[in-house]
């Protein structure tokens, strides 16, 4: 006869944290949000990969491309670049992240010298930048011939057909710096020469990138930036259980730091063989697996060698897996069950296998609840999709700005590998996700600053200065549906402009 779990499964919104004693040590500035994301012998060795804020972006087309990976790593988190694309294009995205140099940006407004003033004006209108690099072939990596800024032309006095070569500031009048110049040295040059931007060029005169005066302060503002030992940003990459023998070596070559097997149901022999193959190919490669929702699933993947285990089936905002297949578990219950299994595994083996709560985060406080319930880090899709840095279109719908967000199991993404049932492959018999809009929310940094401030404040209320301490000390209470109503502003007429985000 079928086994029936004794308790019903629950979601984050059904719980609240009960405060512990807050002491002089519990002040937000002292809260450490860094967290180990790969297996290690706790107390005996450091983990091989830690992130500085406990958030990673979902392995999804509409969330994690190179732009998101750069923005999030610069903030201290990590992206897993989506795998539902060709190996070549995924590697290209990873390479872009690894090549990114904080403060040295690839020039995105470029023209060749035969272009005209009207081309400059059109480009300025399109890109919103006043600096245009003039290269021999008009590409960002062409041989630098000059720069045009708004100081080089007067629209009212000049013929729009004037050639760029006639009014650009030519290379011989520009201050440039050679490839390899550090950001600090570049800024010294900018200050010394009172210039606004500094082109960096290689030995053959090709443009490597530009350093802008205005960017310097913003780069100093990122104390949590996630960097590898060569000072390059760290990035993850999604993989599947089909083409890993080709995809993983290519992604390693491109510079990916950590992998995540992307699947809606990770309790499978295919995940085991994928992990085993990767570890035999190179035991130093870090690979997480999932998703699972119970102790059995966790142990299976931990025994197989997974470096972390991802938790969650059916809780994603765009997910219809539960409706379509009738499988899954409330996200809070899943995290509680798997974190208990993780602790037992650690007590038994001495190996700590971090777990990632994936999907279902709606409010910022859900992040703190997920951590308190035992998650070592959190994966989010909808949350990140709303920001400027996500790869999708920003649109005006019904008078409101929105961004597109679609599931990997939707008809739009057709990521059949994620829903691979071991059959002949290449087909998706039914959808497990929807195509949607999410409210546009501005810049990643502004939103993360607010969310991290809330997490720190709650951790202080719970007398905790680290994620581990929160997990040990947290006291959670189930809330009735009426007390949930009590939790929001109620019985007042709230002024629209005063509503907190």
Q: Which of the residues are catalytic?
A: 319, 418
Reduced to 3 states (helix: H, G, I; strand: E, B; else coil), residue 311 is strand
Residue whose CB is less far from ligand IMP, 62 or 339: 62
242 CB-contact burial (10 Å; exposed 0-12 / middle 13-18 / buried 19+): middle
From CA 250, how far away is CA 230, in angstroms rounded?
Answer: 20
According to DSSP, residue 237 is labeled E
Residue whose CB is less far from ligand IMP, 140 or 360: 360
Give how far Cα 192 sits from Cα of 216, 256, 391, Å: 14, 38, 38
Q: Where are the beta strands (DSSP E) in 34-99?
A: 35-36, 50-51, 55-57, 78-81
Closest approach, Cβ 437 to ligand IMP, in A, equals: 13
Closest approach, Cβ 316 to ligand IMP, in A, equals: 2
Residue whose CB is less far from ligand IMP, 358 or 420: 358
Residue whose CB is less far from ligand IMP, 198 or 379: 379
Closest approach, Cβ 452 to ligand IMP, in A, equals: 17
Residue whose CB is less far from ligand IMP, 181 or 291: 291
Phi/psi of residue 177, nearest 5 degrees? -135, 150
Give how far Cα 11 sits from Cα of 8, 214, 328, 344, 470, Å: 10, 44, 12, 23, 19
Reduced to 3 states (helix: H, G, I; strand: E, B; else coil), residue 238 is strand
Contact, 261 vs 274, CB < 8 A?
Answer: yes
From CA 425, how far away is CA 427, in angstroms rounded?
Answer: 6
Tell me how crowded residue 58 is: count the other CB atoms within 10 A of its CB: 28
* Ranges of H-type helices in 282-404: 295-304, 321-325, 331-349, 364-372, 382-385
Closest approach, Cβ 393 to ligand IMP, in A, equals: 18
Residue whose CB is less far from ligand IMP, 87 or 434: 434
Q: Which residue is nearest to ligand IMP (CB)?
A: 433
Question: Residues 299, 303, 307, 313: is their CA dihedral positive or negative?
Answer: negative
Closest approach, Cβ 409 to ligand IMP, in A, equals: 3
Element (H, E) at 134: strand 132-135
From CA 312, how far away is CA 76, in angstroms rounded?
Answer: 23
Tell me how crowded residue 192 is: count the other CB atoms within 10 A of its CB: 9
* Ranges of H-type helices in 87-226: 87-99, 117-127, 164-167, 183-193, 215-220
Contact, 320 vs 312, CB < 8 A?
Answer: no
Closest approach, Cβ 104 to ligand IMP, in A, equals: 32
Closest approach, Cβ 46 to ligand IMP, in A, equals: 27
Closest approach, Cβ 116 to ligand IMP, in A, equals: 46
Closest approach, Cβ 292 to ligand IMP, in A, equals: 12
Closest approach, Cβ 433 to ligand IMP, in A, equals: 2
Contact, 213 vs 196, CB < 8 A?
Answer: yes
Q: Which residues bind ligand IMP (CB under 6 A)?
A: 58, 60, 264, 316-319, 321, 358-361, 379-383, 407-410, 432-433
* Ranges of H-type helices in 221-356: 244-254, 269-281, 295-304, 321-325, 331-349
Tokens 């011989």 identify what position?
172
Start-to-end CA distance of the chain, whole Å, equals 48
Residue whose CB is less far from ligand IMP, 388 or 469: 388
Q: What does the block give as tokens for 113? A: 């010298």
Residue whose CB is less far from ligand IMP, 147 or 428: 428
Contact, 285 vs 259, CB < 8 A?
Answer: yes
Element (H, E) at 484: helix 481-487
Residue whose CB is less far from ligand IMP, 152 or 432: 432
Contact, 110 vs 124, CB < 8 A?
Answer: no
Residue whose CB is less far from ligand IMP, 268 or 317: 317
From CA 61, how far away is CA 154, in angstroms rounded?
Answer: 43
């Amino acid at each position: 006869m079928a086994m029936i779990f004794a308790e019903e499964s629950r979601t984050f919104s059904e719980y609240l944290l009960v405060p512990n004693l807050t002491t002089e040590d519990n002040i937000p500035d002292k809260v450490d949000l860094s967290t180990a994301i790969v297996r290690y012998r706790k107390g005996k060795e450091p983990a091989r990969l830690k992130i500085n804020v406990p958030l990673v972006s979902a392995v999804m087309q509409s969330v994690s491309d190179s732009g998101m990976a750069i923005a999030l790593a610069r903030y201290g988190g990590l992206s897993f670049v989506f795998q539902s694309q060709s190996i070549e294009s995924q590697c290209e995205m990873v390479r872009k992240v690894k090549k990114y140099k904080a403060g040295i940006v690839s020039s995105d407004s470029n023209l060749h010298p035969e272009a005209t003033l009207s081309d400059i004006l059109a480009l300025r209108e399109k890109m919103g930048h006043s600096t245009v690099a003039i290269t021999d072939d008009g590409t960002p990596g062409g041989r630098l011939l000059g720069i045009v800024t708004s100081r080089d032309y007067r629209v009212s006095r000049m013929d729009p057909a004037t050639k760029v070569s006639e009014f650009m500031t030519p290379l011989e009048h520009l201050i440039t710096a050679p490839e390899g110049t550090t950001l600090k040295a570049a800024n010294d040059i900018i200050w010394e020469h009172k210039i606004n931007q500094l082109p960096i060029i290689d030995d053959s005169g090709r443009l490597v990138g530009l350093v802008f005066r205005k960017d310097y302060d913003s780069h100093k503002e990122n104390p949590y930036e996630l960097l590898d030992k060569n000072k390059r940003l760290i990035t993850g990459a999604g993989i599947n259980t089909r083409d890993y023998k080709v995809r993983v070596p290519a992604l390693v070559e491109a510079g990916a730091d950590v992998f995540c097997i992307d699947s809606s149901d990770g309790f499978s022999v295919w995940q085991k063989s994928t992990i085993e193959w990767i570890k035999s190919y190179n035991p130093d490669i870090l690979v997480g697996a999932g998703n699972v929702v119970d102790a059995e699933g966790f142990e299976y993947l931990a025994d197989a060698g997974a470096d972390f285990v991802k938790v969650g089936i059916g809780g994603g905002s765009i997910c219809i897996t539960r409706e379509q297949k009738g499988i899954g578990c409330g996200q809070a219950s899943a995290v509680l069950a798997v974190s208990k299994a993780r602790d037992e595994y650690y007590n038994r083996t001495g190996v700590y296998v971090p777990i990632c709560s994936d999907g279902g985060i709606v409010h910022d406080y859900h992040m703190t609840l997920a951590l308190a319930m035992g998650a070592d880090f959190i994966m989010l899709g909808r949350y990140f999709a709303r920001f400027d840095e996500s790869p999708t279109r920003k649109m005006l719908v019904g008078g409101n700005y929105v961004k597109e967000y679609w599931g990997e199991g939707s008809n739009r993404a057709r990521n059949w590998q994620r829903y691979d049932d071991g059959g002949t492959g290449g087909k998706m018999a039914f959808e497990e996700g929807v195509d949607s809009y999410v409210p546009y929310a501005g810049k990643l940094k502004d939103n993360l600053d607010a969310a991290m401030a809330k997490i720190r404040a709650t951790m202080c209320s719970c007398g905790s200065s680290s994620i581990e301490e929160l997990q040990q000390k947290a006291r959670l209470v189930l809330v009735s549906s009426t007390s949930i109503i009590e939790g929001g502003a109620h019985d007042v007429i709230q002024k629209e402009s005063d509503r907190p985000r």
